[in-house]
């Protein structure tokens, strides 16, 4: 049995290697809005709110990735992966 609202999902290293750069790219975008003096108050407020959610998710993904990744695997370190950005 799971707690109400809890979703049990199994993510692989491959899944995480795809998701992590996307989350980090979105965090970059949100931070750019927060740092933009021309951004509207609503855009800045929305970006601040979403930044917290994406930041929490980023931390969770990092913890999971580092738990699943074996040092001798072909997968990059979390730090290398987090620097990648979709083109």
Write out pLDDT tens, residues 31-44: 999 999 999 999 99
Residue 75's nearest CA partner among 28, 15, 25, 26 is 15
pTM of the model: 0.83
> What is residue 5's predicted lDDT score, i.e. its pLDDT?
57
Mean pLDDT by 10 residues, the chain (87 residues): 60 94 96 96 96 96 94 92 83
Torsion angle defined by CA atoms of residues 18, 23, 24 and 26, in that order, rounded to the nearest 10 degrees: 130
Other CB atoms within 10 Å distance of the CB of residue 22: 12
Check residue 64 and give its pLDDT: 93
Confidence at residue 52, expressed as pLDDT on a 0 to 100 scale: 97
CA dihedral of residues 12, 15, 17, 20 (deg, nearest 10)? -120
Q: Residues 84, 65: contact at Cβ < 8 Å?
A: no
């Amino acid at each position: 049995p799971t707690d109400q609202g809890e979703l049990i999902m199994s993510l692989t290293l491959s899944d995480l290697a795809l998701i992590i750069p996307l989350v980090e790219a979105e965090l970059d975008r949100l931070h750019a809005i927060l740092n933009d003096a021309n951004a509207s108050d609503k855009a800045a407020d929305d970006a601040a709110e979403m930044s917290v959610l994406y930041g929490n998710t980023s931390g969770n993904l990092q913890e999971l990735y580092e738990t699943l990744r074996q040092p001798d695997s072909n997968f990059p370190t979390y730090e290398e992966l987090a620097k990648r950005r979709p083109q």
